[in-house]
Amino acid sequence: MSLLNNVMDHSLDDGYAEAAARKKADGTGGMPKTVRAKLGLAVGLVLAALVVTVGAAQARISAPVLAKEREELIDRIHQQTTAADKLEDSVDDLRDDVSARQREALKDGGGQGDLVDILSGAVEVHGPGVKLVVNDSKDASQGGDGDPRETSGFSDTGRVRDRDMQRVVNGLWESGAEAVSINGQRLTALSAIRAAGDAILVDNKPLVPPYTVLAVGDGQRLSTRFQNSPDGLYLHALQENFGIRTSISVESDIKVPAAPSVIVRTAEPSTRKGTS
């Protein structure tokens, strides 16, 4: 308490008080006494006021110029954004036109035109099949120190990986699926399932869990053959060991959309004769 009282009673350091008293006694403190000193002080105040006034005037003059430049920059950004949107729309229209022309070319496949359309993913397909849902484990977001899966080099966190979906899709094809899609993304013979970080990409389009796989085919037979296949057993092992959630059901009618872009490729017989 004595320390607090001393601080409150002597809020100003004693050294400052002594210095002020000495200046007052010597006559050096306070306002200037001589005319020359007063003139110097007045000139200093005038210069300070002049500097402040000039600075304020310059700021006031430059403010409209800066505001105008800012508005012009915003207008240019809006114009370029609008132009970019128009170009993007034009690209989408051209892509749709190319896809339509490619589908028309595939339809000219003679008696096998319908089969070519289905196998290439050029048309929407519907019919009986299976619905397979694959999802991360419930505690996937918590991470952990689980065992690494195969040779990944990363600790497993219960997340579905791209290689898991690759095996699922390949297993469905081998089990007799005629058309397959993941989250509405049609798969063809040229489709790629890859990873970017924790995200799964199908033809460079990111998908989010749960992953709903639709496969058109003989529903009950397709389901049985897949679950008994090595890839179906692999999926069951993921469920047992890593908590991956899966469910499969036989559906009487499912729809698989057409592929957004179909690449048409042709082959010609070689005219070169063999050499002996």
Express each pLDDT in 177-217 by its tens digit: 999 999 998 988 888 899 988 789 998 889 989 999 999 99
Three-state secondary structure call for residue 135: strand
pLDDT over 50 at 144, yes or no: no
pLDDT band at 255 (very low <50, low <70, confident <90, very high): very high
Q: Tell me the average pLDDT across 38-53.
A: 82
CATH number at 160 reads 3.30.70.1880
Q: What is the mean pLDDT of residues 242-270?
A: 82
pLDDT of 52 > 60? The answer is yes
Distance CA 220, CA 74 (A): 61
**Would you state the pLDDT for residue 210?**
93
d(CA 98, CA 103) in angstroms, rounded, equals: 9
Residue 67 lies in a domain: no
pLDDT at 85 over 70: yes
User: Does residue 245 sit within a domain?
Assistant: yes
Domain membership flag for residue 184: yes
Grade residue 145 by pLDDT with cuts at 50, 70 and 90.
Answer: very low
Does the structure show a pLDDT above 80 at 175?
Answer: yes
pLDDT at 143 > cutoff 50: no
Question: Is residue 52, in this structure, part of any structural domain at all?
Answer: no
User: What domain count does the chain have?
Assistant: 1
Distances (CA, A) of 253 to 83, 129, 169, 256: 44, 7, 19, 10
| Rounded Cα gap, residues 15 and 205, in angstroms | 75
Q: Does residue 21 form part of some domain?
A: no
13-22, 61-70, 110-119, 186-195: which has the highest mean pLDDT? 186-195
* Average pLDDT, integer, range 27-45: 70
Q: Comparing 116-130, 161-175, 214-228, which segment has the lowest mean pLDDT?
A: 116-130
127 forms beta bridges with 254
Residue 133 pLDDT exceeds 50: yes
Residue 141, pLDDT above cutoff 70: no
* Pairwise CA distance, residues 245 & 241, whole Å: 11
pLDDT of residue 4: 63
Give the structural domain span for 200.
Answer: 126-256
Tell which wins on pLDDT, 14 or 216: 216
Mean pLDDT of the chain: 79
Give the C-alpha separation, 89 to 129, whole Å.
36
Question: pLDDT tens digit string along 152-172?
Answer: 433 456 889 999 999 999 999
In a domain, 209, yes or no: yes
Let me know if residue 267 belongs to a domain: no
Rounded CA separation 10/144 (Å): 61
130 inside domain: yes
Q: Do β-strands 205-207 and 199-202 pair in parallel, antiparallel, or remain unpaired?
A: antiparallel
